[in-house]
A and B are shown apart, each in its own frame.
Chain A
Amino acid sequence: MSDSEQQESDKVSEAQWPENGGSWSDTENEAGMDSDLLQAMAEEDEEINIFNEETFGMDVDPNGTANSLDNGGISFGEPLPSTPPPNTDPKPLSPSTSPPSPPRQRPQYLPQYPARAAQWQRIRGPRWRGGLGRGQMFDDPAVMRIVEGRPSLMSVDSAIVDCGHAVYRNTSLDNRTQPPYWKNRRAPASILQDSAIVCVIGHRARGQRVNSDLLDLSYPVSSYGEKRGGPYNRMLFGQRGPSQMHSPMMPRSPIFSRQPLTPRQHFNQTGGFMFPPNRPCPSTPRPLTPKIMQLRFGADSPRPSPFYSPSTNRVQPFSYGDPVTQLHPQHKRLLSQKQHLFQRKSQGSDPYCNLMTTKEKEWIIRLQMIQLQSENPYLDDYYYQEYYRRLEAKMAEEELGMRSKKEPPKLTTPYITKTDAYAPVFHIEGSLGQVAVSTCYSPRRAISAVNAVQTHCPLEELKDTRQQRLEILSKIEKLFIVLLEVEETERMKTPVSSEAEDAMLLEKIQRKVEHIYSELQHHDSLDSGTEFLPVLSVSKGKKLLARLLPFLKNDSAIKILHIIASNLPTVMSKDTEETLPVLYLPLRNVIGGLTFSQLIKVLRDLTSSESLSTLECLSLACQNKFGLTLLYALLSHGEKLLSSGVPLEPSIGDFETWTDIIFQVAGQLSQCSLVEPLLLPSNLLTLFCRYLDKRTVHQLKSNLESATGCLALPS
């Protein structure tokens, strides 16, 4: 994005910023003012007037010398650039190509300009030559505002700079009778010669809420160095040290009354010298020599950049996040809900607030944001977009459901004060010698990848196991990427209309899915019944399988179900992190598609194992959340099939197996202590009622209920 554009914009801006002050003419181009610009200007001036009157109790003669100010003064536009929102607009390449933001330039002063020039030094700039780019030039905050101190002088020298004179408060109109050292200030010419003077005058406080005090944090512009403004900015902020405060114009009395600055008082911060005007200036002010000025506005100063003031674009509420950050609508909604709860107390008087106006801050933030603009926000900003998309989808789903108005989750986030629970040093169990303390430089290693190994294993076996595990993990990772592609393609499929494309995408999906499937199968153990086991022993693998299952063809899915059922004890025992539940839902969907025979087969697998008796299998299953829930799911499906009246087409012996299992399960369930299942199907007891006597059922029921803590059935 940056380089070529920058160059281009540089060139353009160069053209518009005549380096030699001499080329600036005095009174030209008055006629070029647009009326709407005037209009805007008028509005602003009125506002300024009102403010001044309120603040200072004007006893100004309205006609005053203001009129003479009008001679062709072009003032600078809105100080803020408008970086277009990242995805919608093309970036502004140069000032001349894109139109400036809504006309906010004030090319002329209107007669209402307060004669109290002290407070309100409007910029009466040099009359820039060249009508074309003029407007755009002044959109840029990086344009110096030349504040005028003496109306009479305007006609003499267009390039008079008022360096911070603005805040001089006087009850009398002393500044009128200022010593003519104004005339001595020829330095401005040199400043103006440097086109890269930044004026950070904000002057728009309209619509600013008190909340904006939140944003009144001075912060180092960390990225600014990249924007060639590094040294400058540091100067900028460094200036706030009292020792550096100058009132160049006021060798005599630059005492600024200490007042809390309202946002509107930003107006006082004219002169572009980042004066915190409400601070008393303790040091003896020195007149700003040209040299010092040069320092401040040296070659490194940011050049006027082709960014435009957003001015009227402040439509989005931005009490959270930077004003520039584009928030996902769902995020915005959540934040505004939260906002309603909190009353923002009005801040007490803070002498250091509002040093920068919101516009200035926004401008800087936008500069930073430029780096973040991307053509592909979904990918570049994946986490954020996806997170809120899912949240939105979830909320929409819930709203469609029974509840009419869902309580927004957690309007008030509880304070996190869990410092006592936070143990900064993490001791790894079973480690010998020095504990590897996890610091920010060496975060903890993935503990889960390290197998909880039996200590009595010989070393080689250990290594082998670990090696295998690592291999499996690495394979899973690679397959995960493929899975992500599959999911992405699937998501792309829905909005796509054409059938041919659909088919193509489907085929692509299938290909990838099959690839994953075959990889997971672990070829050397095909048909042994242990295919997917290595994968299942790792939690990552389980997650992968869980997400893969919906994409699999029925046969493949059933195969996986079989494998899990037949190896349930092993699988359960290896599930140290309890990741198995993620498999539950996809498996339940698979179960839902089983025929009766298939179901019986699965149940048989579950209950028959090489090493364990049926009873043992069952009791093990009952002790495990996943196992129990899986069992329930299978039984429930069977019941559903039986009660649905659909012809079952059972194979021989199916029904016997079925009833056998029912009895055994019932026996187990009523005797063992059960864990709480993930889900308790409602038709279970109906099932048992068919086959068992009332008393047993009753006992079962109470056992089930005690485990879950809820009713087992609508009986």
Chain B
Amino acid sequence: LAVTLACRSLFQLFYSFFKSLVGKDVVVELKNDLSICGTLHSVDQYLNIKLTDISVTDPEKYPHMLSVKNCFIRGSVVRYVQLPADEVDTQLLQDAARKEAMQQKQ
């Protein structure tokens, strides 16, 4: 239970953050170097990501992805998520991070 709670608070910030990006276009780079561009459909507390209307940024390298329209990506395999900069309020993100840190201490 303790582990769940700790993880929960850690994930809460990013979950909250990604929730605000639902509906926006992102590029997810996986640890296996595959980059998938798509619209963020949903995210969960493990930061698993569902993308719709995906396209692979390098289609020749990954031809098997051509037919895929929607995908679900397990959170643990994500290396980076590239976001539209104007959809992010960095100041707010910093504040949220500070609050999170505060909460964790308590």
Contacts and interface: CB of A to CB of B under 8 A. Distances in A.
A237 interface: no
A484 B99 contact: yes
B65 interface: no
A325 B71 contact: no
Interface string A358-394: 0000000100100110000001111111111010000
A382 B74 contact: no
Interface string B7-37: 0100011011101101111110001000101
Nearest to B95: A484
B104 interface: no
Interface string A330-362: 010011001000000000000000000000000
A419 interface: yes
A331 to B, nearest CB: 7
Interface string B40-53: 01101110101010
A85 to B, nearest CB: 15
Contact of B96 (A214, A334, A386, A416): A386
Interface in A311-338: 320-322, 325, 327, 331, 334-335, 338
B92 to A, nearest CB: 6
Contacts, number: 124
A220 B48 CA distance: 10
Q: How large is the interface on B (under 10, 10 to 19, 20 to 34, 35 or more residues)?
A: 35 or more
A481 interface: yes
A418 B82 CA distance: 10
A219 interface: yes
Contacts of A54: none
Interface string A210-232: 00001001011011001000000
Contacts of A415: 25, 37, 55
Contacts of A3: 1
Contact of A372 (B42, B45, B95, B102): B45
B16 A381 contact: yes
B89 interface: yes
Given A372-B15, A419-B57, A481-B98, A383 B20 contact: yes
Contact of B48 (A214, A222, A385, A543): A222
B80 interface: yes
Interface string A603-620: 000000000000000000
A222 B57 contact: no
A581 to B, nearest CB: 13
A223 B8 CA distance: 12
Contacts of B74: 220, 222
Contacts of B71: 217
Interface of A is mostly: helix
B12 A380 contact: yes
Interface residues of A, number: 49
Contact of B42 (A322, A381, A384, A385): A322
Nearest to B97: A383
Given A219-B72, A331-B22, A477-B98, A371 B15 contact: no
Contact of A384 (B4, B19, B24, B44): B19
A385 B95 CA distance: 13
Contacts of B46: 222-223
Given A387-B89, A440-B31, A416 B102 contact: no
Contacts of A181: none
A413 interface: yes
A383 B92 contact: yes
A666 B101 CA distance: 50
A334 B39 CA distance: 14
B98 A484 contact: yes
Given A219-B72, A390-B89, A381 B22 contact: no
Contacts of B58: 419
Contact of A214 (B22, B37, B52, B79): B52
A384 B17 contact: yes
A193 to B, nearest CB: 31
Given A214-B41, A320-B41, A381-B16, A386 B92 contact: yes
Given A320-B22, A320-B23, A322-B42, A382 B16 contact: yes
Contact of B20 (A217, A371, A387): A387
Given A335-B22, A419-B27, A383 B41 contact: no
Contacts of A120: none
7 contacts: A222-B44, A320-B23, A380-B12, A381-B16, A415-B25, A416-B37, A481-B102
Q: Ordered nearest first, which 10 A-B pairs have the shortest CB separation? A: A219-B72, A383-B96, A383-B16, A384-B16, A413-B25, A384-B19, A335-B23, A381-B16, A387-B20, A321-B42
Interface of A: 2-3, 214, 217, 219-220, 222-223, 226, 320-322, 325, 327, 331, 334-335, 338, 365, 368, 371-372, 379-388, 390, 410, 413-419, 422, 439-440, 477, 480-481, 484, 543
Given A382-B13, A416-B27, 8 more contacts: A321-B41, A372-B45, A384-B17, A386-B96, A387-B89, A415-B25, A415-B55, A484-B99
